[in-house]
Amino acid sequence: MDLDTVVRARRPHGEAELDLLPGERYMSGGTWLLSEPQPAVIGLVDLTAMGWRPWHADETGLTLSSTCTIARVAAIPDRFGWRAHPLLRQSCMALYGSFKVWNVATVGGNICAALPPGPMTALAVALDGVATIRRPGGARRTTPVERLVTGLLRTTLAPGEMLEQVHLPADALGARCGYRKIAQAEIGRSGAVLMARQHDDGRFVLAITASTLHPEVLRWAAPPAPADLQAAIDGIDSWYSDPHGAADWREHVTRVLAEELRAELASGGGLGASVGAAGPGARGLTDAGGMGLEPGSAGSATPTGMTDEEA
């Protein structure tokens, strides 16, 4: 869409050029920003000009730049044997976009759009992602991504702040994981996306997105019993309703998928039970019974041909 209120666009190449001028808006991939009118925006600041490396992995975990594209996230190789590594690609697959969208949409843009089915939000909250946020003037602050997104199109970003990067800690990446997605159409917008982790010391974490207005993360020091899991879900009051699914349906399927994940991980299964193994993937309502599996993929792909963190 043409943004007919925009009169200037800047491509900053250094820290000194990052502060916003009145009426400006940061842009990363721009797939959402350019999709609908932005009457208050008179200038765009294209963060891709900063030249940040898309991602970096070391013994502390995986750091994703805000300008890292979804295609690059899906193609990150597993260099450290992290059991949760398959979640990277599976989260990207929750976005049924074309290869053009995958190669333009970014981690930062997807999270800051604060849409309930945002796949990068889902990935970040499932793996205890911590956001680094640049303040006007250059100071930085950090916050868990689960606290950054607070509702539909709502975040805790103050005026002039910018999401710079997201760090996924090795502790979360090393856990056994499970993944579930359901939609009301074979190739449809996510109605619920759930990811769960179980650590070797017994900790259990369940991240719920797409079915709620903002991410819901439930934590236990030991694997929960079925009744405890459902009781925790009872406390959620942010169920989301739109043309892609009513709130009561989203709550119902969330409960079903949450129990599946609990049972899967309790039995010793899940992604990472054998490193690189593929688990159940996305679900649609078009197959027999309305809750059957469609194939999921935990393999690697290289949509752009570039997988190196220095590319």
Residue 217 tokens, joined: 């993360």
Distance CA 302, CA 300 (A): 7
pLDDT, tens only, 144-195: 999 999 999 999 999 999 999 999 999 999 999 999 999 998 878 899 999 9
Q: Are strands 282-283 and 176-183 parallel, antiparallel or unpaired?
A: parallel
Residue 309 is predicted with a pLDDT of: 52
Average pLDDT, the chain: 88
CATH, domain 54-171, list 3.30.465.10, 3.30.200.20, 3.40.605.10, 3.40.630.10: 3.30.465.10
pLDDT, tens only, 227-249: 999 999 999 999 999 999 999 99
To the question of domain 176-272 being in CATH 3.30.390.50, the answer is yes
Distance CA 185, CA 205 (A): 28
Strands (E) in the chain, as ranges, are: 8-10, 24-27, 43-46, 55-58, 61-65, 130-134, 140-144, 149-151, 154-155, 162-169, 176-183, 190-198, 204-209, 216-220, 282-283
Stretches in the chain below the pLDDT threshold 50:
274-280, 284-308, 310-311
Residue pair 76/91 in contact (Cβ under 8 Å)? The answer is no
**Torsions phi, psi for 2 (to 5 deg):** -75, 130
Distance CA 88, CA 70 (A): 9
Would you kindly state where each structural domain of the chain is located, as residue ranges?
Answer: 8-47, 54-171, 176-272
Distance CA 197, CA 174 (A): 9
Longest Cα–Cα distance in the chain: 58
